[in-house]
Structure 1
Amino acid sequence: METLLKEFISEERVIPPLFKYKTIPFEQYKKIYKESLKPEFWAREASYLIWERPWTKLVEGDPPAVRWFVGGELSPYKNIVGKHAGTWIWDKVALIWRGEDGLIKAFTYSDLDQLAARYSGALRALGVGRGDWVMFYAPPTPEVIALMLAAVRIGAPFEPVFTGFGHGDLAMRIEDRRPELLVAVDAFPRKGKAIKVKETVDKALKLTKHVPKVLVVRRMGIDVELIGGRDFVLDDVSPVEAEEVVVESSHPLFGLHVGYDDGLGFVAHGAGGYLAQTYATTRWIGLRPRDTYFCTVLPGWITGITYVLFGPFMVGSAVVIYEGGPDYPSWDVWWSVLEDYAVNVFLTTAGALRLLSRQDPKLLESHNLDMLKLILTTAEPMEVKYWKWAYHYVGTGTTPSIDSLPEKLSGRIPVIHMFIQTELGTFVTGSLPNYAFVPVAPGSVGPPMPGFDIDVVDDSGNPVRGRPGQLVVKRPWPAMPVEYSAWYAKKWRGGVYYVGDLAVMADDMNIFPLGRSDTVMKINGYRISPAIIEKAVASLPGVEDAVAVGLRDPQKFESPLVVVKGKANPEDVRHKVREYVGPIAEPSAVVVMDHIPQEPKRQLRLALKLALRGADGLHPWAKEVASKLRSNI
């Protein structure tokens, strides 16, 4: 824990030169924040949406069963895209998509609306109606983005699934959500090779009792097997008439599965509360209609849904999507995207900054990034040194501004780290360029955003400052899930939501996350359930039992350690997890033991976490595993 505190916490506070005259002192922020916790705050923010019928009650119910803007009705699609019709935004660029292979497509808001309307008819032709779930296992090509908006348009809630998850993980989500339709691409390029998505879908559907229709979007034009009556190609579907729907405020808009200690749990966000919170936070973090915005986090993560698919379009910004990763065709491809499209707001992850900071600095220096005005980051805790790298090397630019000094890499624009979680729906912390910008604390996710009653407490629920505690939310927020699993409900204790992360809150309310307090793994921003990895490993011949826990990883923040009882080849274990759960969950270490105690898995995982940190007087078996791991290393 001491190592974490040294890596992630800083007493320094930074005022970027370009925000020298916009920064407010802590006392002013505290006054704004206190006022924002009054009920009328979110009523005011929700009034910026277009309501077909006004709500009759702001909020009702007890956590976790809370509903916002009760009795209100709205068209989600009109609030995302349709509202721009007849304005200057309608004919400006909405989406620039750049494929890994160099293919580029651009769409105005009018173009995107026409595509979404046509695809609404295709979804209806396939039997998808109001309230029917649509699952997406596809990268965000323009067609996929338009299909998601089409689902919103007809009142069909949807769930995107990261294509890095394996067929077993996908099968569990299908069985749990039971979608009417599953959307996939034939394949997509990754580092020049075809990732055959449709083949993974076919494997997954062999494991499920529920078999949805499958809609295939052509991306690479490769041959795929089509099963009659089940599989359809988007270009071959004849659209029918499909009207834009108006829904009640708590109508599910979209959902995601998230990792808990003992498995995958489902949450869904309601249209009214979620869109009110999304529109507010998107404006606050700095997006405006004339901005060009590049986000490297894609749908499949909550960030990619809220701040790619919904928020920027609600504001009217131009959204840039790059299909590939940061390293192909070269390590400066993201810098090239920023420069080529004059991006001024850039959102990425702490993990990406770790990777990029280790590359040849000449790759960065060869690009002019003077147009950037904001760097936003998220996903997992960020070490102070990587915040400083982004601030000084990416954020300084080449042209002096106010008192920035490019030759000394003095920094010029803010690097704002923020906290988000699937259940919360949006960013809920951070210094806000377009609302209440306070000095930035390197390594922190900033103070709570207005409207969110966030604190750090000890085991008795009392606020603590300057030392680790549990990150909590003390009262309901508009984007609260309207559907959820029992695991989410258990996170509520006495009207307080325990986020599941350890953190330190400073006296000026800056929050420094330290990682999970439970046994869920945080890998490159994804919450991976240890139970799912254990299930995959236990299916191997000769394996009698398995326990998975997160190891501190210098790149991913955490990576899985798997302890196996029985006859098991570590490479077979890695292969099985990679195939079944996905490459993101591949174990970095496998330890084979003669025994695993017959105790609850959660207790064993927690004992292992403590033993791996070198704590004394612990579970003998956990100490034995930690000792064996160190000897192997």
Structure 2
Amino acid sequence: MSKTVWHPTSEYIEKTRLYQWMKKLGHSDYDSFFNKTIEDVSWFWSEAEKELDIPWYQPYTKTLNDANGIEWPVWFENGSLNAAHLSIGKWAEDSNMVEKKALIWEGEDGKTRTFTFSDMQEEMDRVAAGLRKIGLRKGDVVGIYMPMLPETVIAMMAISKMGAVFAPVFSGYGAEAVATRLNAGEAKVLITADGFMRRGRAVMMKEEADRAAELSPSVEKVVVVRRLKANIEWNETRDVDWQDMRNSESYEETEEMDSQDALMLLYTSGTTGKPKGAVHTHSGFPIKAAFDAGIGMDVKKEDVLFWYTDMGWMMGPFLVYGGLVNGATILLYEGTPDFPKTDRIWELVAKHKVTHLGISPTLIRSLMGQDEENIDQHSLETLRVIGSTGEPWNPEPWMWLFERVGQKKIPIFNYSGGTEIAGGILGNVLVRPIGPITFNSPLPGMAANVYDPNGKPVTNEVGELVITKPWVGMTKGFWGDPERYLNAYWNRFDQTWVHGDWVIKDSEGQWTITGRSDDILNVAGKRLGPAEVESVLVAHEAVKEAGTIGIPDEVKGEAAICFVVLQQHLSESDSLKHELLMLVSEKLGKALKPKDLYFVSDLPKTRNAKVMRRAIKTAYLGLEAGDLSALENPQVLREIEKLKENVKK
């Protein structure tokens, strides 16, 4: 069991939105409340949307209709609403909120822009009118290939206001990866920028966007935001200047959308084949994200929510809806969180009075030990909660964040779910103690469990993370591919969502994710999560990051291979390699000692800093890689390929 290190006082608990809502519903004990939320999910989500004060054009007649099976629930049947209205329009109509800050943007160069809810309403209306003028209609799909700019959020709102569907695409993708997603959704319009700043250099996007459009026959118009005011190629028949489009007359009417109408397509990389397009609805993603942020993380009106992410990843739209639906301010940052100095992210928190900060474990590992005294130069007094998502933690960086940054006062809200979830399955609710690297509960309404290979619940051993009841926010299948959706999540156990994570739930109710179930190792019959090995390695003072994969082994069936990134200015050596291998053997047992260990310059990661172990494995074993378009640093794979080649020699 993980020892808890953060303990909320009674006074703290009673001030949280979660506790106050529980009391309103007649519960003072979290466990009894949680059990009610998963016993009667229809009651729970009806109460949740009321607590979030969701504005309906037409009230729903039934909270949940599951006549078509658990895989295809209909939520808020016959209700109508619009995600743009519940995010912006609602607050623009509120005299107490209309001039409050909705969005703050800071560029890597330090420039800032601020928008009130009134400003956002006007921009949204103008852009919606402009989109209609260039031929966009209700139900059409729009690709958003944009950096983190105010216009990115304005575009999302304008598209949904008029009833079209947006598909955000990671800003670091190349043309082919963008085109794959545009073609999958048959996008009619692509919105992009001329470029953005990253580590002090201009990253040009328009050229990639042009190539993507050429590869996508359905794209009729490319709308361009001139962030850099760069000299770019211009196609007079296809390209539209954002500013020209924005100058359209205001488009007042907001489409009343059925609760089940598509709002957004979020594409995830498949292990093989084409990416999967998770379909999210007007009543799904916004309500789930707003609930997790507002009731789970205690985001309140006029708080400032900042998650370091990209709009092409789930946490980008989560930032938008999790903040705005709750009447909070969202902070968007264009650049990298350690440029020009490693204290940039703490500077942003202090400057913009951030109350809720979202990071990844990889980011914290990279910041540990670098100019730590710079943290003390920035007042973090407004910071109330630190959110974390993307991958499992190792204990040492978690404790560094808790003790060094949070001064043992700020709770770390570990948050794990996925693109198809619209938010989290597991979290750290703020009415219970929190321990390093673990989760103290499933989120309310999430009927999570841990199953063994036979589909039986288990405690204190590694098993599959499953969900046994539907929830608001679950993907409405994959765009144009319902069979793939069913095969991906529903074909293992009867009426049970199998998420693809290995977890351990201990007898004290603490949950630990040990890795993706397709990453898990089976060493001589013993299941081993890669995070278990990586945590041992990262605890060594010489190790900055570690990745572990399993490879076939004649004796053990599978053996662990480790890849280690050393701290700056340290050199690799055979003695250090031996020391690290023996450390794993000592901590985990001789039977689980890795077969080999390699020093590498970096680990392959996505833009949101998630280590792609699958990419390490395919490079090392020389296998077919599948879709690796999410990788930010694909050059690392060649380094890993060469390691194996050298071994063969």
C-alpha separation in 2, matches of 1:523 and 1:481: 28
Report Cα offsets for 1:134-178 as digits up to 9, x if no partner: 111111211221111111111111011111122221111111111
Task: Give 1:562 deviation, angstroms.
Answer: 6.5
Q: Which residue of 1 aligns with 2:5?
A: 14
C-alpha separation in 2, matches of 1:220 and 1:71: 45
Q: Which residue of 2 aligns with 1:431?
A: 428
CA shift in 2, pair 1:327/1:158, >3 Å: same
Task: Give 1:215 deviation, angstroms.
Answer: 0.4
Q: Give the SS at the match of 1:89.
A: coil
Alignment partner of 1:63 is 2:70: yes
Task: Give 1:431 deviation, angstroms.
Answer: 2.3
Question: Which of 296, 310, 314 matches 1:298?
Answer: 310
C-alpha separation in 2, matches of 1:166 and 1:414: 38
Alignment partner of 1:510 is 2:542: no
C-alpha separation in 2, matches of 1:220 and 1:246: 36
Q: Which residue of 2 aligns with 1:408?
A: none
Q: Which residue of 1 aligns with 2:43?
A: 40
Q: Which residue of 2 aligns with 1:175?
A: 183
Alignment partner of 1:119 is 2:127: yes
Give the 5 Å matches for 1:377-416: 377-396=388-407, 411-416=408-413
Q: Which residue of 2 aligns with 1:147?
A: 155
Alpha-carbon contact 1:375-1:413 (below 8 Å) kept:
yes
Q: Give the SS at the match of 1:22.
A: helix
CA shift in 2, pair 1:129/1:519, >3 Å: farther
C-alpha separation in 1, matches of 2:73 and 2:616: 38
Q: Which residue of 1 aligns with 2:354?
A: 343
C-alpha separation in 2, matches of 1:169 and 1:269: 21
C-alpha separation in 2, matches of 1:176 and 1:415: 37
Alpha-carbon contact 2:84-2:160 (below 8 Å) kept:
yes
CA shift in 2, pair 1:192/1:505, >3 Å: same
Q: Which residue of 2 aligns with 1:354?
A: 365
- Report the more deviating stretch, 52-61 or 445-454: 52-61
Q: Amino acid of the residue matched to residue 112 of structure 1? A: M
C-alpha separation in 1, matches of 2:155 and 2:618: 42
Alpha-carbon contact 2:179-2:212 (below 8 Å) kept:
yes
Which structure 1 residue ranges, 5 or more long, are not aligned?
Answer: 1-9, 397-410, 525-548, 594-626
CA shift in 2, pair 1:212/1:515, >3 Å: farther
Q: Which residue of 2 aligns with 1:402?
A: none
CA shift in 2, pair 1:429/1:630, >3 Å: farther
The number of equivalent residue pairs is 542
Question: Which of 547, 561, 569 matches 2:616?
Answer: 561
C-alpha separation in 1, matches of 2:322 and 2:102: 12
Alpha-carbon contact 2:414-2:427 (below 8 Å) kept:
yes
C-alpha separation in 1, matches of 2:477 and 2:133: 27
Scaled by the length of structure 2, what TM-score is found? 0.78
Q: Which residue of 1 aligns with 2:248?
A: 239
Question: Which of 492, 499, 502 matches 2:490?
Answer: 492
Q: Amino acid of the residue matched to residue 14 of structure 1? A: V
RMSD: 3.2
CA shift in 2, pair 1:16/1:631, >3 Å: farther
C-alpha separation in 1, matches of 2:2 and 2:147: 40
Alpha-carbon contact 2:269-2:627 (below 8 Å) kept:
no
Give the 5 Å matches for 1:50-449: 50-60=55-65, 61-84=68-91, 85-237=93-245, 238-239=247-248, 242=251, 243-263=253-273, 264-284=275-295, 285-306=297-318, 308-396=319-407, 411-433=408-430, 437-449=431-443
C-alpha separation in 2, matches of 1:17 and 1:479: 29
- Report the more deviating stretch, 185-194 or 260-269: 260-269
Task: Give 1:488 deviation, angstroms.
Answer: 2.5
CA shift in 2, pair 1:563/1:505, >3 Å: closer
Task: Give 1:632 deviation, angstroms.
Answer: 7.5
Q: Amino acid of the residue matched to residue 32 of structure 1? A: F
C-alpha separation in 1, matches of 2:244 and 2:530: 39
Task: Give 1:588 deviation, angstroms.
Answer: 3.5
Q: Give the SS at the match of 2:436.
A: coil
C-alpha separation in 1, matches of 2:337 and 2:530: 17
Task: Give 1:505 deviation, angstroms.
Answer: 1.2
C-alpha separation in 2, matches of 1:523 and 1:272: 37
Task: Give 1:553 deviation, angstroms.
Answer: 6.4
CA shift in 2, pair 1:233/1:553, >3 Å: farther
C-alpha separation in 1, matches of 2:561 and 2:243: 44
Task: Give 1:182 deviation, angstroms.
Answer: 0.5
Q: Higher RCO, 1 or 2 (CA under 8 Å, sep at least 6)? A: 1
CA shift in 2, pair 1:19/1:514, >3 Å: farther
Task: Give 1:260 deviation, angstroms.
Answer: 2.2
CA shift in 2, pair 1:419/1:504, >3 Å: same
CA shift in 2, pair 1:19/1:145, >3 Å: farther
Task: Give 1:590 deviation, angstroms.
Answer: 5.6
C-alpha separation in 2, matches of 1:57 and 1:228: 50
Task: Give 1:592 deviation, angstroms.
Answer: 6.4
Q: Which residue of 1 aligns with 2:592?
A: none
Q: Which residue of 2 aligns with 1:403?
A: none
Q: Which residue of 1 aligns with 2:632?
A: 583
Alpha-carbon contact 1:124-1:239 (below 8 Å) kept:
no
CA shift in 2, pair 1:477/1:373, >3 Å: same
Report Cα offsets for 1:364-383 as digits up to 9, x if no partner: 12222122111111111111
Give the 5 Å matches for 1:590-601: none
CA shift in 2, pair 1:117/1:563, >3 Å: closer
C-alpha separation in 1, matches of 2:564 and 2:221: 40
CA shift in 2, pair 1:448/1:115, >3 Å: same
Task: Give 1:591 deviation, angstroms.
Answer: 6.6
Q: Amino acid of the residue matched to residue 421 of structure 1? A: G
Q: Amino acid of the residue matched to residue 631 of structure 1? A: V
Q: Amino acid of the residue matched to residue 303 of structure 1? A: M
C-alpha separation in 2, matches of 1:497 and 1:304: 24
Report Cα offsets for 1:563-609 as digits up to 9, x if no partner: 5799x9x9xx99x999x66534444356769xxxxxxxxxxxxxxxx
Q: Give the SS at the match of 2:197.
A: strand
Task: Give 1:629 deviation, angstroms.
Answer: 6.7
CA shift in 2, pair 1:18/1:221, >3 Å: farther
